[in-house]
Structure 1
Amino acid sequence: MPQFIDVPGLVSSIVGAGVLAGATATWRWMRARDAGEDEDSTPVGGARSLRRYTLLRTTGAHGSPEQYETTWPTGTVITHRVDGGHPRRFELTDVPLGDGTYAAEPLE
């Protein structure tokens, strides 16, 4: 009676598919980990997190730099009123500062 199933070929196909699936899962995991190194980073098309930015070269009521909270992504340009209500533009960056906030660079 002839053998209808090529057992060694079937086993090697299953092992190959498992290796390919494992490599793909590892690649996706590493890619997601690299994109998510920062807990507050925003995935493209996903929900945004609230971030606190320190507005560089500003002074608040107690002499410390002013801070701004937003869900806008990195690279967004905002207008914030400083020094008695004068509008000033800032670009939100992904540069972390020592106090746990991120830098917002003045554009002017």
Structure 2
Amino acid sequence: MNILLDSAPEAIGGLVATGLAGVCAWVKKARAARRSVGTAVRRYTVLNVVDTVGLPIVHSTTCPVGVIVKVHLGAGHMERVKLTDAVLPDGTYAAEAIDRF
């Protein structure tokens, strides 16, 4: 019985060390995954908005989907748009103007 009581601190210490190593590995993996998300540049076409020549507004950004960004339309005008994950036929993603009805 004395052997079990004497070895208990080492066993508990081993379990704690293993648990800490597991937590550290998980945190490292989570940070790496978070860093890799959103690093690619995406091109967004703003729906129902054209520039002064009549061409659609295309905006490039690394912001994640669901973020609201301000897009410069030219001549000092700005439009707030929400980024979506919908892919358009030209390969760009759709951005919806939120200040319009």
Which band: TM-score by shorter chain? Answer: 0.5 to 0.7
Aligned residue in 2 for 1:16: none
Work out whether 1:101 is the aligned partner of 2:101.
no
Which protein, 1 or 2, shows the higher relative CO under an 8 Å CA cutoff with sep ≥ 6?
2
Amino acid at match of 2:92: T
Amino acid at match of 1:72: C
Work out whether 1:45 is the aligned partner of 2:5.
no
1:18-37 deviations in whole A, cap 9, x for unaligned? xxxxxxxxxxxxxxxxxxxx
Identity level (%): 38
Aligned residue in 2 for 1:71: 62
1:45-82 deviations in whole A, cap 9, x for unaligned? 03221100001122135422010000100001001122
Structure 1 CA distance for aligned equivalents of residues 51 and 33 of structure 2: 33
Runs (5+) with no aligned partner, structure 2: 1-31
Aligned residue in 1 for 2:49: 58
Aligned residue in 2 for 1:27: none
State the TM-score, normalized to the length of structure 2: 0.58
- Structure having the larger proportion of residues in helix: 2
Q: Which runs of 4+ in 1 moved over 3 A?
A: none
With over 3 angstroms needed to count, the CA separation of the structure-2 counterparts of 1:73 and 1:62, relative to structure 1, is same
- Structure having the larger proportion of residues in strand: 2
Structure 1 CA distance for aligned equivalents of residues 56 and 97 of structure 2: 12
Q: How many residues align?
A: 66
Q: Match of 1:45, SS?
A: helix
The RMSD of aligned alpha carbons is: 1.9
Amino acid at match of 2:35: G
With over 3 angstroms needed to count, the CA separation of the structure-2 counterparts of 1:58 and 1:94, relative to structure 1, is same
